[in-house]
Amino acid sequence: MYDLFFQKFREKVPLSVEEEQQIKSYLTPKKLRKRQYLLQEGDICKTLAFVEKGALREYSVDNGSEHIIQFAVEGWTISDLFSFLTGEPAIYNIDALEDSELILITRTAHEELLQTQPKYETYNRVLITSAYVALQRRLTASISLSIEERYTNFTTMYPDIAQRVPQHMIASYLGLTPETLSRARKKMTTRK
Amino acid sequence: MYDLFFQKFREKVPLSVEEEQQIKSYLTPKKLRKRQYLLQEGDICKTLAFVEKGALREYSVDNGSEHIIQFAVEGWTISDLFSFLTGEPAIYNIDALEDSELILITRTAHEELLQTQPKYETYNRVLITSAYVALQRRLTASISLSIEERYTNFTTMYPDIAQRVPQHMIASYLGLTPETLSRARKKMTTRK
DNA sequence: CCGTTTTATTGACAAAAGTCAATGGTTTTT
DNA sequence: AAAAACCATTGACTTTTGTCAATAAAACGG
């Protein structure tokens, strides 16, 4: 159940068996059915969620239309970090796109681990740093690339997600309507 | 010269005088004239730069047009983090919008500090975490808000920057042409 | 100072993207 | 197996944004 979590952890920071056991004692497994919410806008985000299996999305809703800001598949962590850290109400929703298995870390667990387990802090720092870099690249893409480029960028970066997720959600992730993405794809195939 | 740096540091993580001295020994001051580059696309980004005084921008250029991805004024840190961490060539340029005074941390200094000074690691983690949260909010705004909302958002979030920086750079930061921003502003004032 | 450069605005027009509605093909549910 | 829900595509049309060009004001540098 915790295999992937510790595999990913060790890729970033090596761990002894004892350390692994100590950290494991802070983790909670959770299963989520397709379409179930992990978090709803307005609630306080109580946990970080690591995806052992399945796929989730994080999105905001603004007068009726959804804007996906992140996908998470196996090996990824998802949360409304701002809400998690500050205790303010979440501005995002998170729900499952497939039946999923998660590993949850509550805020108190997170804080105790930061205090008591230096390797957890290091892991956390490395994790958030690469998330930041990825997000910065994504923002650059969204500001400077054409729709076609953004789409190809996405499919080559995350071929896995591109296959598992309906196209209109990718459109939403890219900040487009489904129609516009459909037409962009058509243009791409007729020319290529 | 290092006042603001340690003030910001202590806001996040308290420091003893000795710790401050130890960290200080890893820092290098640098002055930059207006329009001077701190980093050019293609070069390796050698440092993190904390802004003690002045203002800088980070931007990418793609066939002729510039896209500003970040501003940094007093108290902010700026860098091409990906290039800094991996040693790959930078995809961004950084230059000074005003005469500026910076505090630089080289990659080796950064790594030694991470190893030897737990509080530096904590500071770093907290810093990058809030940078991540801010970036996520910005991305959400850029995907889900109208131009008017994005602009008001920016000016209320960073009134200081909005005043110091020419309008066409704000347009670039928001992913717009200067003309479009100018017209959006006009619409806002006539209605309000 | 005075000339040059930068900056913001505006107009006319073109291109890009969104909206609405319809269709046909899937998948899901019962 | 049939009905319902979901999904991708397409067409006609509207709205939004970009492009190019001109102008005037402001800032800057010698």
**What are the strands, taking DSSP E only, across chain B?**
28-32, 37-39, 47-53, 55-62, 65-73, 77-78, 93-96, 100-106
Q: Does residue B108 lie within any of the structural domains?
A: yes
Strands A77-78 and A47-53: antiparallel
**What are the strands, taking DSSP E only, across chain A?**
28-32, 37-39, 47-53, 55-62, 65-73, 77-78, 93-96, 100-106
Name every chain B residue with its beta carbon within 8 A of the beta carbon of A133.
Answer: 81-82, 85
**If 0-12 CB within 10 Å is exposed, 13-18 middle and 19+ buried, where does residue A166 land?**
exposed
Q: Are residues B89 and B179 in the same domain?
A: no
Instruction: Identify the weakest region by mean pLDDT among A74-78, B19-23, B133-137, B139-143.
Output: B139-143
Residue B140 and residue A82: Cβ atoms within 8 Å? no
Residues of A with CB under 8 A from a CB of B: 60, 62, 65, 67, 69, 81-82, 85, 91-92, 118, 121-122, 124-125, 128-129, 131-133, 135-140, 142-145, 175
Phi and psi, residue B76, nearest 5°: -100, 160
- The percentage of residues in chain A with a pLDDT greater than 90, rounded to a whole number, is 91
Could you report the per-residue pLDDT of B70-128, keeping only the tens digit for each? Answer: 999 999 999 999 999 999 999 999 999 999 999 999 999 999 999 999 999 999 999 99
Name every chain B residue with its beta carbon within 8 A of the beta carbon of A92.
Answer: 140
What residue of B is the nearest CA neighbor of A118? B118
Chain D positions with a protein C-beta closer than 7 Å = 6-12, 16-21, 29
Which one of B134, B157, B177 terminates a domain?
B134
Domain limits for position B186: 145-192
Q: Are residues B14 and B100 in the same domain?
A: yes
CA dist A130 and A134 (Å) reads 6
Closest nt to residue B189, judged CA to C1':
C9
Determine contact, residues B56/B94, Cβ cutoff 8 Å.
Answer: yes
Q: Does residue B65 lie within any of the structural domains?
A: yes
Could you report the per-residue pLDDT of A89-108, keeping only the tens digit for each? Answer: 999 999 999 999 999 999 99
Determine contact, residues A57/A70, Cβ cutoff 8 Å.
Answer: yes
- The CATH number for A71's domain is 2.60.120.10
Name every chain A residue with its beta carbon within 8 A of the beta carbon of B67.
Answer: 140, 143-144
